[in-house]
């Protein structure tokens, strides 16, 4: 895997396969049209990066800052992402098919998953405070160690989704029920 540490060398609408981007600053970078296949971003800042028509196939983000990233602007074809220990506040995933996606140790406060397909998704030890789930397919999703979520069972598909007993309270928020 080729290591890249200088983002100045990236080509507009380029193609990168089996590359590791290490401690790169893509803050507000325009990555529109760029394709990344089997790549890893480690310790990178991609906050507010533009991903219009970008291809992200088998892309892993580790210890990355991804504030306000509009993943919904990416190419939908073969989109495959994995996140480990990332800051994903205010990121947009609406309308995406992200079956079996994994989020591990991520801060996802105020992210938006409206109308996304998250069948089989794993939210391992993730903070989902004020994250939006609306008309989202969460069937077989795993929320056992996730926290601070509020999911309306009437506006989302939850068949066979997994929750911890204390966390299941997040399914009752919309009803205004006081639990003591």
d(CA 24, CA 14): 17
Residue 8 pLDDT greater than 80, yes or no:
no
Q: How many residues does the chain have?
A: 180
Torsion (CA) 62, 94, 53, 18 in degrees, nearest 10: 20
Q: What is the mean pLDDT of residues 73-86?
A: 96
CATH of domain 1-87: 2.160.20.80
Q: Class for domain 93-180, per CATH?
A: mainly beta
- Give tens-digit pLDDT for 113-152: 999 999 999 999 999 999 999 999 999 999 999 999 999 9
For the chain, the structural domain boundaries read 1-87, 93-180
The verdict on pTM exceeding 0.85 is yes
Q: Do domains 1-87 and 93-180 have the same CATH topology?
A: yes
Residues forming beta bridges with residue 103, ordered by sequence position: 83, 123
Q: What is the mean pLDDT of residues 78-92?
A: 97
């Amino acid at each position: 895997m080729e290591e890249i540490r200088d983002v100045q060398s990236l080509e507009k609408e380029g193609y990168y396969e089996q590359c590791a981007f290490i401690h790169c600053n893509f803050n507000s970078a325009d990555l529109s049209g760029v394709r990344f296949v089997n790549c890893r971003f480690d310790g990178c800042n991609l906050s507010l990066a533009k991903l219009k028509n970008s291809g992200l196939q088998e892309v892993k983000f580790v210890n990355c800052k991804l504030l306000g990233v509009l993943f919904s602007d990416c190419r939908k074809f073969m989109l495959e992402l994995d996140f480990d220990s990332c800051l994903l506040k205010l990121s947009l995933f609406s309308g995406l098919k992200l079956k079996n996606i994994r989020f591990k140790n991520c801060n996802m406060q105020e992210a938006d998953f409206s109308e996304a397909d998250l069948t089989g998704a794993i939210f391992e030890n993730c903070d989902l405070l004020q994250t939006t789930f609306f008309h989202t397919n969460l069937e077989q999703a795993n929320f056992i160690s996730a926290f601070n979520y509020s999911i309306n069972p009437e506006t989302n598909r939850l068949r066979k989704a997994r929750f911890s007993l204390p966390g299941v309270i997040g399914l009752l928020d919309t009803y205004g029920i006081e639990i003591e």
